[in-house]
Amino acid sequence: MALEFNDTIAGIATAPGEAGVSVIRISGEDSIAIADKLFKAGNQKTTDRLENRSLTYGWITIGNQTLDEVLLCVMRGPYSFTAEDVVEIHCHGGSYITSTILNHILNNGARLAGPGEFTQRAFLNGRIDLTRAEATNDIIRAQSDLGLNMVVNQLKGKLYAKISTIKEDISWILALVNAGIDFPEEDTVFSNRDEILEKMDNISKELQRLIRSAETGIKIREGYKIVLAGKPNVGKSKILNGLLEESRSIVNQQPGTTRDTIEESCSILGIPVSLIDTAGIHETADEIEKEGIERAFSAIKKADLILWVIDMNNPSFEIKLAEIMDISHIPVLLVLNKKDLCETCREPIPEQWRENKRIRISALDKGDIDRLRKSIFEFISGKKGRLVEDTMLTNLRQKTSAENAQISLEKSKDSLLAEVGDELLAIDLNQTLIALGEIVGETTPDDMLNKIFSEFCIGK
């Protein structure tokens, strides 16, 4: 990696707007000297003599003008977040005073930090790996307890430790292969062939488990898309309001009340989801309704789960989506609604839908809505147990690199079995290490690193 930063940066680390306290962060070799030009400590000490990692009371002053009463903390490198000298100024939380102090810091030699640049420096200075760098951003955006637990495990370095263990096993194999290249008369690889194959099989199983974990990890991080679909006036909007526990979607007995998609975020037993209410799907000559139905189709295409809502008082199981799009890969949960209007109604489920999971509810019954939540949880999790594992891949970048590592490992295994030569085997093993290194940031290209950190907020 060629990226390198030698200057001093500053940025506001807290959210904009009025608050009790705002934090301004400075990092770099001149951070203490710049802070000393503005900060007058209550104990009369200069900033470079302040106790490390302690808050000091004082004032921000410009010449003879006092701007604010603050607390200041000096964190000397390498024992700081960025592994550089860091100064944090805790001032009053008004937007004007915060930006004014920041401008004076910039006028005294600091540069405004780019998005994620503090975390990027922590990564480049070797304090954290790329998975932990990503976790520092993900923890801010966590939408549920499950998401938080998953990110905290990554922040603790558990994914990094797992990848490091896999890399050590591959490096052990590669060392034997390189020994065989350097000393061909020893036939090192052949004499350890069974042990190498066993280790490759174990590595492959671990990579496969990590790759499988990515689907759950990404969904927990980004949220599942659950689309409520069906004919007009079957109760989709009432179900949405019930799951949200608030009146978000307009409910009316008149069919066609929902003309557009309505998307709201919530948590289903700890799993973050986006609930999307759609216009009723039916034949219509109304141009506005047609547009709403087209938008419903667009939402359905992107769904992770379809709640197909059916009015049991007037049941219709015609799902004509197959004529318009392929939904065979999207799971469908049949929600048989309005049981309160037909307690004795039979469920005339057509044969083609009898294999589908279904639940009979009344959208007006809180207990039924709770049962629906549980069904959704079990449906999208596939199990009733614990979803979050200690080591999970949490984004597409990590998954792609793990898949590339798996491909290279299988090639190396094929090379070993075919006895094509130690040189080719070494190439495949090195490609496996490179792919794994991309996960933790050891071999990640600079343009990819810049893209990752550009998605962070300024000040982080």
- pLDDT of 436-455, one tens digit each? 999 999 988 888 888 888 88
Beta strands in 287-331 (DSSP E): 305-311
Per-residue model confidence (pLDDT) at position 384: 43
Per-residue model confidence (pLDDT) at position 404: 97
The arrangement of strands across the sheet holding 271-277 comes to 262-268, 271-277, 224-230, 305-311, 332-337, 358-360
Distance, first Cα to last Cα, the chain: 21
Pair 293, 284: CB distance under 8 Å: yes
- Phi, psi dihedrals of residue 9, rounded to the nearest 5°: -120, 160
pLDDT score of 385 more than 50: no
Q: What are the angstrom distances between the C-alpha of 190 and each of 31, 422, 425?
A: 58, 10, 12
User: How far apart, in whole angstroms, are the C-alpha atoms of residue 15 and residue 455?
Assistant: 16
Q: pLDDT digits over 37-77, tens only?
A: 999 999 999 999 999 999 999 999 998 899 999 999 999 99
User: What domains are there in the chain, each with its CATH number?
Assistant: 9-129 (3.30.1360.120), 139-219+395-441 (1.20.120.430), 225-381 (3.40.50.300)
CA-nearest of 197, 195, 176 to 187 is 176
**Residues, the chain, total?**
460
pTM beyond cutoff 0.85: no
Q: pLDDT digits over 281-339, tens only?
A: 766 667 777 777 778 887 888 888 889 898 887 776 666 554 556 666 788 888 888 88
Please name the residue that has the structure tokens 């307009």: 250
Half-sphere exposure of 142 (CA within 13 A, CB side): 19
Q: Of the given ranges (168-182, 257-271, 388-402), which has the lowest mean pLDDT?
A: 257-271
Pair 268, 377: CB distance under 8 Å: yes
User: How far apart, in whole angstroms, are the C-alpha atoms of residue 164 and residue 440?
Assistant: 9
Give the rounded distance of the alpha carbon of 290 from its chain centre. Answer: 35
Confidence of residue 13 (pLDDT cuts 50, 70, 90): very high
Q: pLDDT digits over 129-138, tens only?
A: 999 999 998 8
Q: Please count the other Cβ atoms lying within 10 Å of the Cβ belonging to residue 23.
A: 18
Per-residue model confidence (pLDDT) at position 323: 54
Burial of 157 (0-12, 13-18, 19+ CB in 10 A): middle
